[in-house]
Amino acid sequence: MSHDLSPQALLERSMPEGAAARADAARHTLSALLAEQHRLSRLGFEFPLARCHEQIRYWGFVTRLLSLPVMGEERTGGFRWPSDPR
């Protein structure tokens, strides 16, 4: 996945089909949004910073959701709580 994509470009692309690829895309999007939040904070742009914060909350949820095991994994010992992506 290209690291040259802007947060807006990351948000506009479709999610990949594979579970691992979806999880990677969500983590990458969250990482780009966190970097954008830092940039906006340094610049003092309050409204874009608030919108970025909303997206970070959403993509944090998506990242955690995609890190949950597939149904049935708890029987094989694979169930565990997802870690914080930050």
3-state class (DSSP) for residue 78? coil
CB 45 within 8 A of CB 82: no
How far is Cα 53 from Cα 74, in angstroms, rounded to an integer?
33
Average pLDDT over residues 2-9: 66
pTM over 0.85: no
Model confidence pLDDT, tens digit, residues 7-48:
777 778 888 888 889 999 999 999 999 999 999 999 999 999
